[in-house]
Structure 1
Amino acid sequence: MYRPTAFRQDDLATLHAQMQATGLAVLTSAGGQGLMASHLPLLLEPGEGEFGTLYGHFARANPHWRDLADGAETLVVFPGPDAYVSPAWYPAKAEHGKVVPTWNYIAVHAWGQAEVFDDAERLLRLVSRLSDRHEAGRPQPWAVDEAPRDYLDSMLRAIVGFALPIRRLEGKWKLGQNRSAADQAGVREGLAASSNPRDHELAARMTL
């Protein structure tokens, strides 16, 4: 990932927090089937290995998992909030007019090689933890063990799990750090006034 110095984010706790806040990651690889990409919810175990380990699963019918089983290197993208930045928001526009549009965003990239598994009990633990994570906070959270076991067994046979120890981790927080304080404030105000909730989220992150 292209990361000018002003936008680099290398703090492990900050990177992990963004990864855990991302609902759906994009897992990519280049193997025997060419370039492949799958959109997957993932679990992060921060304490496993130097950078943590990611866990997830594919539909067995998705051929992507076979490339992982063959040892293909994997890149997982965790997209954060993003927003268009209008030159009209920069006070510098009124001063000299030398401004152009850009896009501000947050992203984390993780690399590694996965171990693929289809053991039923290990898969059950994985899908239970994934469900518990996303059901947390609901008034009446659903749990995997509420489904009939024979039905669960059939669903588990239809998926393939993986564990991906992270070998390299990079973050990019492109939030206008290369602009003056006045221009950054102008962008925050412009985003905060937008009707798009994602713009509001990015504006809030610019204050961190």
Structure 2
Amino acid sequence: MYQPPHFRETRLDVLHGLIRSEPLGLLVINGPEGPVANPLPFLLDADGSSNGTLRAHCARANPVWREIQASPEVPVLVVFQGPQAYVTPSWYATKKETGKVVPTWNYVIVQARGRAEIFEDADWLSGQIRNLTERHEATREKPWAVDDAPPEFVAAQVRGIVGIRIEIASLEGKWKMSQNRPAEDRARVAAGYDDAIRPDMASLVRRLGAERG
């Protein structure tokens, strides 16, 4: 990933935070006919290795797991996309001063690389779906639990999936939020996002601009 210094994010807690808040990762592998991409919800184990580990599962009918199993030595890529939005040149103060401005895009993204393992063990898979369910049901007033479904139904569902575990060998983050623009341009971009009802983007532009100084 192209990484200008203005936008590079290396703090592990920040990178992990994005994975937790945006857990639907795009798993990319180099298949026999070229790149193959599958969106999967991931769980992060921050203590699984120095950069953490990722766990997910896919349908047994999905050929991605067999392709991973056939080439376990080939690293995979998982992309986690955070907030993103267009930037119009009309927001820049520089537009009025020189006219030398162009459109761009602001975004947050994390890319994880590592070798993937495949798991077909029923206990591993049961733990995976329970952990994933508990993680995303935790904020509900009346959380749904795996045990709410009939045991034989759950067992059949488990037989229909395959687990994937990735030890993260490298982790890259890019927080592109107008940090390379002059202070007045950044302020106007944030105000533009306010008007567009994108408080998430406005907040990031202001915070990262303040960190830059």
- After TM superposition, the score normalised by the length of structure 1 is 0.96
The answer for unaligned runs of 5 or more in structure 2 is 208-213
Q: Deviations over 1:64-98 (max 9, x none)?
A: 11122121321000000000001111111111111
> Contact 2:114/2:169 (CA < 8 Å) preserved in 1?
yes
Alignment-derived partner of residue 49 in structure 2:
49
> Contact 2:57/2:161 (CA < 8 Å) preserved in 1?
yes
> Contact 1:33/1:67 (CA < 8 Å) preserved in 2?
no
Q: Deviations over 1:87-123 (max 9, x none)?
A: 1111111111111100000000000111100111110
Question: 1:121 is matched with which residue: 114, 120, 123?
Answer: 123
Say whether 1:6 aligns with 2:2. Answer: no
Which stretch has the larger CA shift, 47-56 or 64-73? 64-73
Q: Deviations over 1:163-201 (max 9, x none)?
A: 100001000010111100110000000011104xxx321
> Contact 2:23/2:43 (CA < 8 Å) preserved in 1?
no
How many equivalent residue pairs? Answer: 205
- Alignment of structure 1 residues 134-173 onto 2, 5 Å: 134-173=136-175
Structure 1 runs of 4+ with >3 Å offset: none
**Letter of the structure 1 residue corresponding to residue 162 of structure 2:** V
Give how far 1:13 is off: 0.5
- Alignment of structure 1 residues 68-87 onto 2, 5 Å: 68-70=68-70, 71=72, 72-87=74-89
Q: Report the identity percentage.
A: 45
- After TM superposition, the score normalised by the length of structure 2 is 0.93
CA–CA separation in structure 1 for the residues paired with 2:23 and 2:101 = 34
Alignment-derived partner of residue 59 in structure 2:
59
CA–CA separation in structure 1 for the residues paired with 2:25 and 2:89 = 31
